[in-house]
Every structure is written in structure tokens, then in C-alpha cells.
Chain A
Amino acid sequence: MQRSRIAGFDFGLAGMGVLVVVLGFSSATFAVLGGKVASVAADQSRMKASLKVTSNGLFQVHELQTDTGNVVREFVSPDGTVFGVAWTGNQMPDYSQLLGRYTDAINKAAQSRKEHRAPLTIQQPGFVFSAFGHMRFFTGRAYIPGLVPAGVTVEEIR
């Protein structure tokens, strides 16, 4: 047996110096991370969720909650850009909906490892992602370092 062994987490992409150029999203129909605040509405519709918006002066939190207990928080900078998302619930969010094209980095990480039951962390210059849990409990967060407003610590994305 070939003893290729790619287990556990994959931080490898960061070492490859992958550059993620952040472009403005013009479409509000498909969201999200890196997109404009209007895209939150698409998530709300897709998730059939309630929406609560709070602000601490440095950023807004658009919190989506479903009747089945899934919560997604979208962190919006003063210029209206979603710079981070966090989620907790009994089911995983739809990454392709929530993270848009940043999902490609997750899929590349998945294809470069073998044991998919493990948690996943990705740290790239343009994209940080961490997800863990088990069936009936999933949580995680993702953000774009370059879009985090001044004065905001990444620990607040949760």
C-alpha cells in the first residue's frame, strides 16, 4: 500500500502563498463573505431565518436564526462589507451560499486530505476558516483578514 498520509488539518495552502484577491460582489442574489450587506437578505431567504441586527459602533452583526436552532452571524463593516461569518447549530450551513467563492479553498483542502471526519482549519493571507463539531452540533467561523475593520479583534467574530 502506498503510504501517502494526509491526515488531520491542512494548513498547507497558506505555505503555498495563495493570494485571494478580494473583489466587490455586484450580485446580491448569492452572498456573502466579502460581499455587500444586501447579500444577507439572500441568506435570510435561503435559510428561512429571522434577522436581528445589532451594532457596537465598530461593526454590525446581522444574526440569522432558524426555527430549528441554527444561528449564522454575519459581521458587517461600516462600509457595508461582510468581513466575517460565524455559525452554530445542529446542521452545517451551506458553505457555498455563506462563503461564496471562498468555498473553493475549503474544497481544495478537502481534496488534499484523506480523513474527512477531522475538523478543518485553513489559514491563508486572504481567508481564515475554522470548523469543528459532530453530527447534530456544528460550529465555526470564517473571515477575510484584510477586511476586518481597524480596532476590531478577530476573537469578536464568533
Chain B
Amino acid sequence: MGAVGERPRPGQQASAVHTVLVVEDEVLVRLMIADVIRSAGYEVIEAANADEALEVLAHTHGVSLIISDIRTPGSLDGLRLAQLVRSHRPAVPIVLTSGHLRNVDSVDHDGFFPKPYDARKIVEHIEALLARKR
């Protein structure tokens, strides 16, 4: 767990202002990816499903990027969450992950990582996406 203990790198202060919303129902996966992203210098809000993610998005304004698993329990899944984010928060990139699907071309998104994924690759992807927003 938390294999990327080397981060954050010096001079990465700008990323500290960014908040990443992680949506994942498997607690050990959520713990691992949240830990790695925090170690990279980002604030992380954890949601266990898409319903919780909508709660967070409705009551906070600082989410810079979302990483969501596709198959989550609750009233909507990660694909529907991605559609809602595109409609209501078009400036917020959404990256999808899945242990079941191999592609998610049916919805607009900003990256897809099949599980098991390398969390460091996700962090690199986050950095690239957020760098474009600056």
C-alpha cells in the first residue's frame, strides 16, 4: 500500500491547491489510490460511490478533478456520474477506472485505467490534466 512514498517532489506547491475527488467502493483500493495521490501533494476527498460524489460536488466548490470507478453501488454508476459531471461541471476532468470493462468509449471522459492499475501512472495523468488547466 502507498508504494509512492517518495513524493511529493520539491517545488510542487502548486498542486497542493488542487483537490481530487476519488470515487471507489472497494475500501482498500480507495485507501491505496487516495494515499498515493495525497503523497503527490494533492488534497483528496474520498467518496465510496457516485451518490456520495454528487453530495460532495453539490456542497463543495473546490474539486479540480474526479477519479471514479465505474461499477459502484447506489443509484448511479461511474458512467452516469461522468455524464452528469460533463453536463454540470464541464471544467472538471473525470478519469474512469474499471475492473470489468476494457474501454468506456460510450461516455466522454479524460482518461481510462483498467484495473489493476499503476497508481503512479494515474498521478502522472492527473498532473498532465491539471497542468493543462493552469
Please determine whether chains A and B interact with each other in the same assembly.
no
A residues near B (Cβ < 8 Å) are none
